[in-house]
Structure 1
Amino acid sequence: MMSNSTGNSGEDPNLGQRPPQQPYQPAAPTPVAAVPLTETEDRQWASFAHLGGIISFLPSLIIWLVFKDRGRFTDQEAKEALNFQITIAIIYVIGWILTVVLIGGLINLAAFVVSIIFSVLGFLKAKDGQAYRYPFALRLIK
């Protein structure tokens, strides 16, 4: 008969025991490069950045953040629309402050009308693939 060094009669010393557990380590996410926009998609998102200005500056901001690295035209036009919408937002704040002296309502109404007109003009130009530059805007986003 053969004897093993543990003195057991041929039994595995780890029988019935769990192997030591390693701490859980999730797999590192693999960065995926964003797919560039086609020319049609580039024009589409650029024009939506202008048109979204009718609502507020948020659509232009979101479009710029999501698509700035995927399309040159979208990057350019969304920045332009965002700068204009930030300018309009500042004018709204000034109008609200001046409501105390009763001129603020007129300022806000004028800003609203101007915002709609220029946003639609920007949409129409960008839809056709032409860059649009607003007649006035603070160029805060470069």
Structure 2
Amino acid sequence: MEMMEPTQTGEVRQDERWWAASAHAGALLLAFLTSWMAGVAGMVAGLVVYLLMRDRSAFVAEHAREAFNFNLTLFLFAAGLAVAALLLLGATVLTLGLGAVLTLPVGIVLLVLAGIAAVVWLVCGIMATVKALDGQRWRYPFSLRLLR
């Protein structure tokens, strides 16, 4: 595949904008459709767009990498929260419910963290989609940069 040429003014072409936006919006859509707020489905859109367009457009590849990395980061965070929740549940069961005095407040903190992560994921995904449509670069905050 050949690389898409930028326009004479250095602007990002409209088709590149749509591809880049689809990496972000696709992650949101797939996650909602599969009921995974920060799951594997969110990573699929970014990865598919990256694999399809990495040799054709640096702009699209950059956005697709960002979408994949951010959704992977949130997936790992959600998995960590789930493990912590299971450990808290186990501690409560092992102490025959007496441990609930300590585990209940920590469980509430875990729920709040999960809610914050969901809001950050949604807001950042929308912001990234808008930036891509405007032809601007976007870097997600708090994202592991594993796919480069």
Give the structure-1-normalised TM-score: 0.70
2:120 maps to 1:114 = yes
2:132 maps to 1:132 = no
1:48-67 alignment to 2 at 5 Å?
Answer: 48-54=22-28, 55=31, 56-67=42-53
Kindly provide the amino acid, as one letter, of the partner of residue 123 in structure 1: T
Matched-pair contact (CA < 8 Å) for 1:83–1:140:
yes
Paired residue secondary structure (2:147) = coil
Structure 1 vs Structure 2 CA RMSD:
1.9
Q: What do the CA deviations read for 1:89-134 (whole angstroms, capped 9, x no partner)?
A: 1111011112234143322222111100000000001100000111
| Ranges in structure 1 where 5+ consecutive residues have no aligned partner | 1-32
2:75 maps to 1:89 = yes
Kindly provide the amino acid, as one letter, of the partner of residue 43 in structure 1: R
Greater relative contact order: 1 or 2 (C-alpha under 8 angstroms, separation 6 or more)?
Answer: 2
> Counterparts of 1:37 and 1:44 in 2: how far apart (Å)?
16
Matched-pair contact (CA < 8 Å) for 2:3–2:55:
no
Q: Identify, as 1 or 2, the structure richer in helix.
A: 2
> Counterparts of 1:116 and 1:83 in 2: how far apart (Å)?
15
> Counterparts of 1:37 and 1:67 in 2: how far apart (Å)?
13
Offset at residue 35 of structure 1 (A):
7.5
Aligned length: 110
Matched-pair contact (CA < 8 Å) for 1:92–1:107:
no
Kindly provide the amino acid, as one letter, of the partner of residue 79 in structure 1: R
> Counterparts of 2:3 and 2:61 in 1: how far apart (Å)?
15
| Ranges in structure 2 where 5+ consecutive residues have no aligned partner | 7-12, 32-41, 89-102
Runs of at least 4 residues off by over 3 Å = 33-38
Larger Rg: 1
Task: Give identity over the alignment, percent.
Answer: 29
> Counterparts of 2:120 and 2:113 in 1: how far apart (Å)?
10
